[in-house]
Amino acid sequence: MTGSRGAAIVALAVLASAAVEAQRGGGQPPAPPTPRAGAPIDLTGYWVSVVTEDWRYRMVTPKKGDFASVPLNPEGRKMVEAWDPAKDVASGDQCNAYGAAAIMRVPGRVHVTWQDDATLKIETDAGTQTRLLHFGESQPPAGDTSRQGYSKATWEIAGGPPRGGGPGAGRGGAGDGAPPPPRGGSLKVVTTLLKAGYLRKNGVPYSEGTTLTEYYDRHNMPNGDQWFTVTTIVDDPKSLQQPSTTSTDFKKEPDGAK
């Protein structure tokens, strides 16, 4: 066997082996889906808030000094007692109750769409606010805080690995050959760079530097209605003794006619 012929045979053997390996699934893994394509739940559409609790705090402006069920610390209580709506108007802060830490609690309608494959957009009729939820490796802009802050979004897949990963990640530790996890999951959103605002319209405060964590879960009701629930956790050591947690429901509407 000449050297050139031997080299050709070896090259053909390598190519054949690579082809067989690719057929067995040993080739390059497919590119991961975009956040939009890989969404375990669909939150897009028109939704209306369902007020089944805290009616007197959500549907009307509570009296000054009424902060029941909000774990304010002494500094937060001072701010509640000093609330003056006329000063808010004069300083251009009359929208303090429509910041990201409170807006999903304000009764009204929201429209959820994909702005692009990695950005989910929430538009609210209450306060006419727009929130952008950023997936992927994008970084918050340097500079000032804002009413809606900067929101980092991730999908939490049902049946996936524990937070932090570990052996068997993505298969629940079952090893090769295990069935894929069930379709479903939650949307987690962490918002920072928030301007100070109100948790309630009567001046119950959250401070600049607050961290907001939200979990969005979607439900199909027995009668065919579609709902989502957002669990909101407001972490503000300046004004709160402990994080304030609320759970708010929305029901899907057929279109934006209302």
Q: What is the pLDDT of residues 195-209, one digit of tens each?
A: 999 999 999 999 999
Is the pLDDT at 106 greater than 70, yes or no? yes
The fraction of the chain above a pLDDT of 90, given in percent, is 67
Mean pLDDT for the stretch of residues 24-41: 80
In 10 A of CB 221, how many CB atoms? 9
- Minimum mean pLDDT range among 25-29, 67-71, 134-138: 25-29
Report in angstroms the alpha-carbon separations of 150 from 89, 92, 101, 122, 213.
Answer: 25, 21, 12, 13, 12
* CA 224 – CA 149 distance, rounded (Å): 35
Mean pLDDT for the stretch of residues 46-52: 96
Mean pLDDT for the stretch of residues 88-109: 94
Query: Higher-confidence residue: 2 or 197?
Result: 197
Specify the pLDDT at position 99: 97
Is the pLDDT at 58 greater than 80, yes or no? yes
Specify the pLDDT at position 57: 87
Closest CA to 60 of 250, 202, 247: 202
Instruction: Give pLDDT tens digits for 169-201.
Output: 333 333 445 444 446 899 999 999 999 999 999
Average pLDDT, the chain: 84
Mean pLDDT for the stretch of residues 224-246: 97
Is the pLDDT at 75 greater than 90, yes or no? yes
Judge whether 118 and 137 are in contact, CB under 8 Å.
no
Is the pLDDT at 213 greater than 90, yes or no? yes
4: Cβ contacts below 8 Å, ≥ 6 apart: none
* CA 43 – CA 35 distance, rounded (Å): 13
Judge whether 248 and 49 are in contact, CB under 8 Å.
yes
